[in-house]
Amino acid sequence: MKMAYHNPVLLKDSVDVLVGDVNGVYVDCTFGGGGHSREIMSRLGESGRLISFDQDQDAKANALDDERFTLVMQNFRFLKNNLRYLGYKKINGVLADLGVSSHQFDTPERGFSIRFDGNLDMRMNQSAELTAATIINEYDENRLADVFYYYGELKNARKLAREVVAARRQAPIETVEQLKKIFSYIPKNKETKFLAQLFQSLRIEVNDEMAALRELLVQAGEVLETGGKLVVISYHSLEDRLVKRYMKTGLFEGEPERDVYGNWEAPFKPIQSKVIVPTEQEIAENPRARSAKMRVAVKT
């Protein structure tokens, strides 16, 4: 199970840039199947330490049997508090692979995939209350439209929300197939992209992903020592734009305050001019890597 759980994206590229001091302290924010964590551990010396986070209880089965390793079963938005609890004030590197794991996509009852029927769940933390079914059946039309528009970047969001509200008046929408049936009129050549955007919007809302990412980026700047690395792998434009902007300016919106020379202070400095993407070979071997974008910044 451990190696089939998830095929880590940009594995060597990310860990090569992350690990400088082999006796340093590193964080893997999204443990999942442990692929990135195993690679990090293989680079560490006897005094090196790795703290990995995951809110999905299924990830426990992949925990590494190594005294240098600690698995924290919480969302990475609680990074700073957990590091303090464990006794670490400053660390050397943070890695966040923001994608949904293959295990989550391939487990029908989790409801992440458009390929299988299953309950509209989409919770990464199975003990959380909010599910995709709750959103579909209980959000009012305007709130639904906002979710579809802002998190799915669906331009016809208001029309889609009206159709959902009309359908749920007839019967609750509880499963993947019930939701897909509402939009069965979508042309086949556009259906996969449309459903991917729709499911993305629901997943982001269920897991409060954008707010959690903002909190992670801010806290990473607070816990990393000067010269420490922040490595983020994202899979859609909403995440990538947020990461790119914060790494460059230290802000999520607005313009930074500049001094008389036109410079500004930011917690990070990007260390590459272009985003890093998987090679054609990696994409061929792991199609889910296709949309991955990696950005790296150093703590100033």
Residue 2 pLDDT: 39
- Average pLDDT along the chain: 94
pLDDT band at 5, cuts 50/70/90? low
Report whether 73 contacts 55 (CB < 8 A). Answer: yes
Q: Which CATH class is domain 108-208?
A: mainly alpha
Average pLDDT over residues 137-145: 98
DSSP codes of every residue in 6-43: ---TTHHHHHHHH--STTSEEEES--TTSHHHHHHHHH
Domain ranges of the chain: 11-102+210-299, 108-208
CATH superfamily of the 11-102+210-299 domain: Vaccinia Virus protein VP39 (3.40.50.150)
Q: What is the pLDDT of residues 219-275, one digit of tens each?
A: 999 999 999 999 999 999 999 999 999 999 999 988 888 887 888 889 999 998 899
Q: Which two tokens stand for residue 39?
A: 């690679």
Q: pLDDT digit string (tens) for 278-295?
A: 999 999 999 889 999 999
| 21-30, 99-108, 232-241: segment of lowest average pLDDT | 99-108
DSSP state for residue 257 in the 8-state scheme: P
Starting from the edge strand earliest in sequence, which strands make up the sheet with 91-97, in order? Answer: 69-72, 49-53, 25-28, 91-97, 224-234, 293-299, 268-270
Which region among 100-104, 158-162, 273-277 has the lowest average model confidence (pLDDT)?
A: 100-104
Mean pLDDT calculated for residue range 3-14: 80
Provide the pLDDT confidence category of residue 299 given band limits of 50, 70 and 90: very high
CA 78 to chain CA centroid, Å, is: 14
